[in-house]
Amino acid sequence: MLYIIGLGLCDETDITVKGLEAIKSCERVYLEAYTSILMVPKEKLEKFYGKELIIADREMVESQSDEILLNANSLNIAFLVVGDPFGATTHTDLMIRARELNIPVTVIHNASIMNAIGACGLQLYNFGQTISIPFFTDTWKPDSFYDRIKENRDLGLHTLCLLDIKVKEQSIENLARGKKIYEPPRYMTINKAIEQLFEIEETRNQKVYTAESLAIGIARLGSSTDQQIKVGTLNQLLSQDFGSPLHSLVIVGSRVHILEIDFMRFFAIDKQSYNEIVKKDYDI
Ligand SMILES: C[S@@+](CC[C@H](N)C(=O)[O-])C[C@H]1O[C@@H](n2cnc3c(N)ncnc32)[C@H](O)[C@@H]1O
């Protein structure tokens, strides 16, 4: 059996009872470590799960999935994914490959970044397409997310923006030695995402959003001690310190329910300016 198990959002204790029981029955346990992260080191997970974890990088998952699936017809194998296995991450290739090899697959779900939608006071019904904002380089500034935000905003819908995680490739030298050594990953902050949003607005100039557009910064969703949710204009959020990763951003659309407005007020950076924006932009 191949178990594909969601680990939840924050630490080792977020796994479900079902997920933990499945892990305990497994011969090999892989941890997918490139699309999201938990806020605790691998060793802490290993201690809590009572199993050694094998890090599965993108190359292993995408090009060497048969290695993960080896003997899964007769043994239990677990593939662990931070958040939910199907929350803004699809491991459908692995599932399809397992099915082709007649390996039974069980998916065990968990909380995901998709939970940001309700946690920040907004309603799923009012969301449009989710987008990803990649790190720009001097020569590479992909901006297709701008069109998706425009489509959402034309319909008055909110946009959940997921922010890039850059896992650096191992050096050629290490590759030649058959060793995999990674530089620490880079995580995009809410501040960097807003800077890039402003940069693209300046180039495309269709006034899809402005420095005064209402938005929500969400950091370390799910942490009982350290979660941060802040509501303000993009400009106000730009100067906030959201602390350590992971971060996400929501750009609020014009179609808002009064309950969304009231809920967001709890998280307002500055209640007076929030009330003014709401009156001016939302007529509430
Ligand atoms: C590809 S998505 C994550 C998918 C993951 N499987 C899930 O279900 O949550 C990764 C992005 O989601 C956002 N994210 C994930 N966990 C988060 C958290 N706890 N707090 C804030 N943002 C988070 C970050 O922008 C991160 O770069």
Complete domains list, the chain, with CATH: 2-111 (3.40.1010.10), 114-281 (3.30.950.10)
Flag whether 221 is marked binding.
yes
Ligand 1 centroid–CA 173 distance in Å is 32
Burial category of 236 from C-beta neighbours within 10 Å (exposed 0-12, middle 13-18, buried 19 and up)? buried
Of ligand 1's listed atoms, the one at least distance from the Cα of 161 is 25
Q: How far apart are the first and last CA of the chain?
A: 54
Neighbouring-strand partners of residue 271: none
Distance from the alpha carbon of residue 113 to the mean position of ligand 1, in angstroms: 5
- Report pLDDT for 179: 60
- Residues near ligand 1 with C-beta < 6 Å? 9, 35-36, 81-84, 87-89, 112-113, 162-163, 165, 218-222, 246-248
State how far the Cα of 263 lies from the Cα of 19, in Å rounded to an integer: 33
pTM score? 0.93
Q: How far is the CA of 71 from the centre of ligand 1 (A)?
A: 31
Q: Tens of pLDDT along 217-232?
A: 999 999 999 999 999 9
Q: Is 158 known to sit in a ligand binding site?
A: no
pLDDT tens per residue across span 32-86: 988 888 888 899 999 999 999 999 988 888 888 999 999 999 999 999 999 999 9
Q: Ligand 1 centroid vs 220 CA: distance in angstroms?
A: 9
Beta-carbon contacts of 103 under 8 Å, excluding residues fewer than 6 positions away, are: 1, 2, 69, 72, 73
pLDDT digits (tens, 9 = 90+) for 90-147: 788 899 999 999 999 999 999 999 999 999 999 999 999 999 999 999 999 999 999 9
ipTM score: 0.99
The average pLDDT across 160-188 equals 73
- Distance CA(203)–CA(85), nearest Å, equals 36
